[in-house]
Chains A and B, each alone.
Chain A
Amino acid sequence: MHELALTENIIAGVAERVEGARVTRVVLQIGKLSGVVPEAVRFCFDVCAAGTALEGASLEIVEIPARAICRSCKSTIELSDMIALCSCGSANLRMLSGNELRVKEVEVL
C-alpha cells in the first residue's frame, strides 16, 4: 500500500540529488523484512518516473537478506519471515539486517 508513496519519494529524492542530470539506472536496496514489496515498487516506478529526470530509467532492486542475533544463545541466524525462532528455541532476536530501504546508486548521463 505504501509502495506508491515510497516510489514517489525515491523519484523526488533522486531527481533533487542529481541536479538536472538524466538518470538512466537506479539501484535500490530493499531488506527482506522491510515491509516493502519489490514487485510493487517495480510496478509503480515507470509511472512515477514519467515526466521527471528518471523517465525511462531502469530499476535494479537488490534484496538484502534478514539476519538476526539471538539474545539467548548469541548465535547469528538468517530469517525467512518476521515470525522467527532461533534453533535454541528463543524468539528473543535482535535484527542485524533486513530492514533496509535505501537508494544505493544511480547512473546518470
Chain B
Amino acid sequence: MCSTCRCSDEAHTTITDVKDLHKERYHDPYAAHHCSGHEHHHDHQHDSERRLIHLEYDLLEKNNRLAERNRGWFEGRDICALNMMSSPGAGKTTLLERTIGNLRAEYQISVIEGDQATTRDADRIDAAGSRVIQVNTGSGCHLDSAMLADALRKLNPPSHSLVMIENVGNLICPALFDLGERKKVVIMSVTEGEDKPLKYPQMFRVADLMILNKVDLLPHISFSVERCIAHARKVKPLIQIIETSATKGIGLDEWYLWLRTEISTNGNGSAHSK
C-alpha cells in the first residue's frame, strides 16, 4: 500500500461534465463499508462451534463483472473504447488533443478523463472539440469499472463512435482493473528512461499497444529506442509499438492507422465513419 496516495481510503469519486460543471458525489463501491451497527452477541461461543466456509471467490470479481457489462454496452452500440494508461506526464492528453484535432472529421470521439483532482485535462479536451466527462477519483489511484459505468451514463456516447478513456497517471494500479475496454494502450515517454517496461512489467504485460512518445527529444537525452523495445518485448513478446511525438506530430499517421484498423475490426465489421 502506498501511504502517500492512500488509494481508495475514504474515497469519494466525483464525476464532472465540464459543459455544465455539475458535480455529483459518487459513492465508491470499493470503499470500506463501515458497518458500525452490527450487533452480534457471541457470548458463550466455543471453538467447537467454529465453522469453515469455502467461499472461493475472486477478489476482482465485482470489478470484472461490471467490466464485462461495460464491454457488452460498448459492443451493443458498436463503440470502440480504448483504455489509455501511462505515468503522469507521458503525454496522454496531448496525444488525445492531437488525435481529436486530426480525426474529428472522420470519427465521433468522446473522452473520459481520470485524474485525482481538477478538470484541467477535461478542459483541454473540451477546447480540442470533444465531448468529455471528468472523473475525479479523490484519493483513488485508478479508474474501476463502476466509475466508468457511471461516467458512461453521463457521457452517453453515440453509437459507432470512439471512446477514449484516459486513466489516472500511474503505471501500477490501472493495470489490475479491467474497465471493459476493447484494447489497452500504454504510453511511455523517452524522458522516463528505457527500462520502464522492466520496472513496471504488469502494465506492459496487459497492454496491447505501447506508444513511445516524445521521440523528438531523443537527440537531447541518453535513451536507446532499441533497448527500450527489447525490454518491452521481454515482458510482452507480441506487443505492438509505435513511436510518436504528439507535440511535433511525428508517427501520428501510424497511430491513426492502428486506430482505424482497431475501429474497423469490431464484431460486425461495420465502418464507424460519420
Contact = CB atoms under 8 A, between A and B. Distances in A.
Contacts of A33: 202
A34 B1 CA distance: 15
A53 B55 contact: no
Contacts of B252: none
A92 interface: yes
Nearest to B141: A1
A69 interface: no
Interface stretch (B120-128, B148-156, B169-177): B169-177
A82 B205 CA distance: 8
A105 B50 contact: no
Interface residues of B, number: 50
Interface in B179-235: 198, 201-202, 205, 233-235
B5 interface: yes
A3 interface: yes
B54 A51 contact: no
A31 to B, nearest CB: 11
Contact of B35 (A24, A51, A92): A51
A10 B59 CA distance: 7
Dominant SS at the A interface?
A: mixed
A1 B35 contact: no
B8 A83 contact: no
Contact of B38 (A52, A81, A82, A102): A52
Contacts of B237: 91-92
B7 A5 contact: yes
Nearest to B60: A101
Interface of B: 1-2, 5-9, 11, 30-36, 38, 40, 42, 45, 49-60, 62, 140-142, 170, 172-173, 175-177, 198, 201-202, 205, 233-235, 237-238
Interface of A: 1-6, 8-15, 17-18, 20-22, 24, 28, 33, 35-36, 40, 43-44, 48, 51-53, 81-83, 85, 91-92, 101-109
23 contacts: A1-B2, A1-B5, A2-B141, A2-B172, A2-B176, A3-B1, A4-B8, A4-B9, A6-B59, A13-B57, A14-B55, A21-B40, A22-B42, A51-B36, A82-B235, A83-B198, A83-B234, A92-B237, A102-B56, A102-B58, A105-B52, A105-B53, A108-B50
